[in-house]
Structure 1
Amino acid sequence: MVNRSPKYVMNQVEKQFPSTGHILSEVIKKRKINIAALARILQRRYSTVRFYFKNDSIQTAILWEISLILKHNFFADIAAQLPPDFAGGTKSEVLAARDAEIAELKQTVARLQGEKDLLMQVMKNK
Protein backbone atom coordinates (compact mmCIF):
# COMPACT_ATOMS: atom_id res chain seq x y z
CA MET A 1 0.00 0.00 0.00
CA VAL A 2 1.31 3.44 -0.96
CA ASN A 3 1.62 5.99 1.83
CA ARG A 4 0.06 9.24 0.64
CA SER A 5 0.27 11.38 3.73
CA PRO A 6 0.56 14.77 1.97
CA LYS A 7 -2.81 16.17 0.97
CA TYR A 8 -1.60 16.85 -2.56
CA VAL A 9 0.98 14.47 -3.98
CA MET A 10 3.03 16.03 -6.75
CA ASN A 11 4.80 14.04 -9.44
CA GLN A 12 8.60 14.27 -9.41
CA VAL A 13 8.53 15.97 -12.82
CA GLU A 14 5.94 18.59 -11.85
CA LYS A 15 6.93 21.84 -10.22
CA GLN A 16 5.41 23.38 -7.14
CA PHE A 17 1.88 24.65 -7.74
CA PRO A 18 1.17 28.39 -7.42
CA SER A 19 -0.07 29.58 -4.04
CA THR A 20 -3.59 30.94 -4.43
CA GLY A 21 -3.19 32.59 -1.04
CA HIS A 22 -0.20 34.54 -2.32
CA ILE A 23 -2.06 35.52 -5.50
CA LEU A 24 -5.04 36.70 -3.44
CA SER A 25 -2.79 38.65 -1.07
CA GLU A 26 -1.03 40.43 -3.92
CA VAL A 27 -4.31 41.56 -5.49
CA ILE A 28 -5.68 42.68 -2.10
CA LYS A 29 -2.52 44.70 -1.39
CA LYS A 30 -2.36 46.20 -4.88
CA ARG A 31 -6.01 47.26 -4.84
CA LYS A 32 -5.95 48.28 -1.16
CA ILE A 33 -9.03 46.22 -0.31
CA ASN A 34 -10.19 46.09 3.30
CA ILE A 35 -10.20 42.44 4.39
CA ALA A 36 -12.91 43.03 7.00
CA ALA A 37 -15.19 44.51 4.32
CA LEU A 38 -14.45 41.57 2.02
CA ALA A 39 -15.27 39.16 4.86
CA ARG A 40 -18.64 40.88 5.38
CA ILE A 41 -19.46 40.67 1.67
CA LEU A 42 -18.44 37.00 1.61
CA GLN A 43 -20.46 36.46 4.80
CA ARG A 44 -17.51 34.78 6.45
CA ARG A 45 -15.48 35.49 9.54
CA TYR A 46 -12.51 37.79 9.26
CA SER A 47 -10.24 34.97 10.48
CA THR A 48 -11.57 32.67 7.76
CA VAL A 49 -10.82 35.20 5.03
CA ARG A 50 -7.34 35.82 6.48
CA PHE A 51 -6.81 32.05 6.32
CA TYR A 52 -7.55 32.13 2.57
CA PHE A 53 -4.60 34.49 2.11
CA LYS A 54 -2.23 32.39 4.20
CA ASN A 55 -3.17 29.04 2.68
CA ASP A 56 -1.51 27.66 -0.47
CA SER A 57 -4.76 26.39 -1.95
CA ILE A 58 -8.41 27.33 -1.91
CA GLN A 59 -11.63 25.68 -3.05
CA THR A 60 -12.67 26.62 -6.57
CA ALA A 61 -16.11 27.80 -5.45
CA ILE A 62 -14.58 30.21 -2.95
CA LEU A 63 -12.08 31.52 -5.49
CA TRP A 64 -14.94 31.93 -7.98
CA GLU A 65 -16.95 33.91 -5.44
CA ILE A 66 -14.01 36.17 -4.59
CA SER A 67 -13.32 36.66 -8.32
CA LEU A 68 -16.89 37.83 -8.89
CA ILE A 69 -16.83 40.17 -5.89
CA LEU A 70 -13.47 41.73 -6.73
CA LYS A 71 -14.06 41.58 -10.50
CA HIS A 72 -10.65 39.97 -10.93
CA ASN A 73 -9.90 36.80 -12.89
CA PHE A 74 -7.79 34.79 -10.45
CA PHE A 75 -8.14 31.74 -12.69
CA ALA A 76 -6.35 33.58 -15.49
CA ASP A 77 -3.58 34.49 -13.03
CA ILE A 78 -3.17 30.82 -12.21
CA ALA A 79 -3.44 29.71 -15.84
CA ALA A 80 -0.73 32.20 -16.82
CA GLN A 81 1.70 30.20 -14.69
CA LEU A 82 1.14 26.99 -16.68
CA PRO A 83 3.54 26.09 -19.49
CA PRO A 84 2.57 27.75 -22.78
CA ASP A 85 2.27 24.42 -24.63
CA PHE A 86 -0.70 23.32 -22.48
CA ALA A 87 -4.11 23.09 -24.15
CA GLY A 88 -6.59 25.88 -23.60
CA GLY A 89 -5.69 29.51 -23.68
CA THR A 90 -7.14 32.90 -23.18
CA LYS A 91 -10.56 33.78 -24.50
CA SER A 92 -9.03 35.81 -27.34
CA GLU A 93 -6.76 32.89 -28.34
CA VAL A 94 -9.71 30.50 -28.33
CA LEU A 95 -11.79 32.95 -30.39
CA ALA A 96 -8.92 33.48 -32.86
CA ALA A 97 -8.56 29.71 -33.31
CA ARG A 98 -12.32 29.40 -33.78
CA ASP A 99 -12.32 32.24 -36.34
CA ALA A 100 -9.52 30.55 -38.26
CA GLU A 101 -11.44 27.27 -38.27
CA ILE A 102 -14.60 29.04 -39.48
CA ALA A 103 -12.67 30.72 -42.31
CA GLU A 104 -11.20 27.37 -43.34
CA LEU A 105 -14.65 25.75 -43.29
CA LYS A 106 -16.07 28.59 -45.42
CA GLN A 107 -13.35 27.96 -48.01
CA THR A 108 -14.16 24.25 -47.99
CA VAL A 109 -17.89 24.97 -48.45
CA ALA A 110 -17.13 27.33 -51.36
CA ARG A 111 -14.89 24.69 -53.00
CA LEU A 112 -17.50 21.97 -52.55
CA GLN A 113 -20.23 24.27 -53.91
CA GLY A 114 -18.09 24.85 -57.02
CA GLU A 115 -17.54 21.10 -57.44
CA LYS A 116 -21.27 20.46 -57.03
CA ASP A 117 -22.11 23.10 -59.65
CA LEU A 118 -19.59 21.54 -62.04
CA LEU A 119 -21.07 18.07 -61.51
CA MET A 120 -24.58 19.45 -62.09
CA GLN A 121 -23.45 20.96 -65.43
CA VAL A 122 -21.84 17.68 -66.46
CA MET A 123 -25.01 15.79 -65.57
CA LYS A 124 -27.19 18.24 -67.57
CA ASN A 125 -24.94 17.91 -70.64
CA LYS A 126 -25.33 14.14 -70.76
Structure 2
Amino acid sequence: MVQSVQRRNFGRNQVLKPSAFYTPADEQEILQILDRHRGQRIRAVGRLHSWSDAVLSDDVLLDLRRLNAVQLHSEGDQLVAEVGAGCQIKRLLKELNRHDATLQSLGLITEQTIAGAISTGTHGS
Protein backbone atom coordinates (compact mmCIF):
# COMPACT_ATOMS: atom_id res chain seq x y z
CA MET A 1 0.00 0.00 0.00
CA VAL A 2 1.07 3.53 -0.73
CA GLN A 3 -0.51 6.35 1.25
CA SER A 4 -1.53 9.70 -0.27
CA VAL A 5 -0.23 9.20 -3.79
CA GLN A 6 -1.38 11.60 -6.50
CA ARG A 7 -2.02 10.20 -9.99
CA ARG A 8 -3.21 11.72 -13.25
CA ASN A 9 -5.14 10.09 -16.03
CA PHE A 10 -3.77 9.63 -19.56
CA GLY A 11 -5.17 12.97 -20.73
CA ARG A 12 -3.82 14.72 -17.63
CA ASN A 13 -7.21 16.39 -17.15
CA GLN A 14 -8.13 14.44 -13.98
CA VAL A 15 -6.09 14.33 -10.76
CA LEU A 16 -6.67 11.42 -8.42
CA LYS A 17 -5.81 11.94 -4.74
CA PRO A 18 -6.75 8.73 -2.93
CA SER A 19 -6.16 8.19 0.77
CA ALA A 20 -4.73 4.75 -0.05
CA PHE A 21 -3.43 3.17 -3.26
CA TYR A 22 -2.90 -0.55 -3.86
CA THR A 23 -1.63 -2.74 -6.70
CA PRO A 24 -2.95 -6.18 -5.70
CA ALA A 25 -1.39 -9.26 -7.26
CA ASP A 26 -4.27 -11.69 -6.80
CA GLU A 27 -7.87 -12.15 -5.72
CA GLN A 28 -6.90 -12.95 -2.12
CA GLU A 29 -5.10 -9.63 -1.80
CA ILE A 30 -8.14 -7.81 -3.19
CA LEU A 31 -10.37 -9.49 -0.61
CA GLN A 32 -8.01 -8.39 2.17
CA ILE A 33 -8.05 -4.80 0.90
CA LEU A 34 -11.85 -4.82 0.66
CA ASP A 35 -12.09 -6.13 4.20
CA ARG A 36 -9.61 -3.53 5.51
CA HIS A 37 -11.53 -0.68 3.88
CA ARG A 38 -15.09 -1.92 4.49
CA GLY A 39 -17.56 0.96 4.23
CA GLN A 40 -15.22 3.18 2.23
CA ARG A 41 -15.54 4.12 -1.42
CA ILE A 42 -13.14 1.98 -3.47
CA ARG A 43 -12.35 2.42 -7.17
CA ALA A 44 -10.56 0.02 -9.49
CA VAL A 45 -8.24 1.53 -12.09
CA GLY A 46 -6.02 0.23 -14.85
CA ARG A 47 -4.02 2.45 -17.19
CA LEU A 48 -6.20 5.51 -16.53
CA HIS A 49 -7.12 6.03 -20.19
CA SER A 50 -10.58 7.39 -19.45
CA TRP A 51 -11.04 11.14 -19.77
CA SER A 52 -14.09 11.20 -17.50
CA ASP A 53 -14.22 11.97 -13.80
CA ALA A 54 -15.75 8.55 -13.06
CA VAL A 55 -12.57 7.30 -11.39
CA LEU A 56 -12.17 10.29 -9.07
CA SER A 57 -12.20 9.26 -5.45
CA ASP A 58 -10.56 10.51 -2.29
CA ASP A 59 -10.79 7.13 -0.60
CA VAL A 60 -9.09 4.00 -1.92
CA LEU A 61 -7.79 3.11 -5.40
CA LEU A 62 -7.00 -0.39 -6.61
CA ASP A 63 -4.62 -0.43 -9.58
CA LEU A 64 -5.32 -3.73 -11.34
CA ARG A 65 -2.26 -3.77 -13.64
CA ARG A 66 -0.76 -6.81 -11.88
CA LEU A 67 -3.90 -8.86 -12.60
CA ASN A 68 -2.82 -9.37 -16.19
CA ALA A 69 -2.91 -13.11 -16.84
CA VAL A 70 -3.96 -14.44 -20.24
CA GLN A 71 -5.06 -18.06 -20.50
CA LEU A 72 -6.08 -19.48 -23.86
CA HIS A 73 -7.82 -22.80 -24.39
CA SER A 74 -10.00 -24.50 -26.96
CA GLU A 75 -13.68 -25.26 -26.60
CA GLY A 76 -14.59 -27.33 -29.61
CA ASP A 77 -13.41 -25.34 -32.62
CA GLN A 78 -13.36 -22.03 -30.69
CA LEU A 79 -10.36 -20.41 -29.02
CA VAL A 80 -11.37 -18.99 -25.64
CA ALA A 81 -9.37 -16.36 -23.77
CA GLU A 82 -9.62 -15.86 -20.02
CA VAL A 83 -8.08 -12.49 -19.27
CA GLY A 84 -7.22 -10.69 -16.05
CA ALA A 85 -8.86 -7.29 -15.60
CA GLY A 86 -5.50 -5.50 -15.68
CA CYS A 87 -4.27 -7.09 -18.92
CA GLN A 88 -3.46 -4.50 -21.55
CA ILE A 89 -5.13 -5.01 -24.91
CA LYS A 90 -1.74 -5.09 -26.63
CA ARG A 91 -0.68 -8.06 -24.47
CA LEU A 92 -3.91 -9.91 -25.23
CA LEU A 93 -3.42 -9.25 -28.95
CA LYS A 94 0.12 -10.63 -28.79
CA GLU A 95 -1.09 -13.83 -27.12
CA LEU A 96 -3.99 -14.21 -29.56
CA ASN A 97 -1.65 -13.64 -32.52
CA ARG A 98 0.38 -16.69 -31.49
CA HIS A 99 -2.76 -18.70 -32.29
CA ASP A 100 -3.60 -16.77 -35.49
CA ALA A 101 -6.48 -15.06 -33.69
CA THR A 102 -7.41 -11.48 -32.84
CA LEU A 103 -10.26 -9.43 -31.39
CA GLN A 104 -13.25 -8.71 -33.64
CA SER A 105 -13.20 -5.01 -32.85
CA LEU A 106 -10.41 -2.79 -31.59
CA GLY A 107 -10.23 0.72 -30.27
CA LEU A 108 -7.28 2.90 -31.19
CA ILE A 109 -5.42 2.68 -27.87
CA THR A 110 -4.01 -0.76 -27.08
CA GLU A 111 -2.33 0.46 -23.87
CA GLN A 112 -5.78 0.33 -22.26
CA THR A 113 -6.68 -2.63 -20.06
CA ILE A 114 -9.33 -5.07 -21.14
CA ALA A 115 -11.49 -4.15 -18.12
CA GLY A 116 -11.11 -0.47 -18.97
CA ALA A 117 -12.11 -1.06 -22.58
CA ILE A 118 -15.20 -2.97 -21.49
CA SER A 119 -16.23 -0.60 -18.71
CA THR A 120 -15.82 2.59 -20.75
CA GLY A 121 -17.50 1.24 -23.87
CA THR A 122 -14.57 1.10 -26.30
CA HIS A 123 -16.14 -0.12 -29.51
CA GLY A 124 -13.51 0.12 -32.24
CA SER A 125 -14.96 2.90 -34.34
TM-score range, shorter chain: under 0.3
Give 1 or 2: higher helix fraction.
Answer: 1
Larger radius of gyration: 1
Give 1 or 2: higher strand fraction.
Answer: 2
TM superposition score normalised by structure 2: 0.27
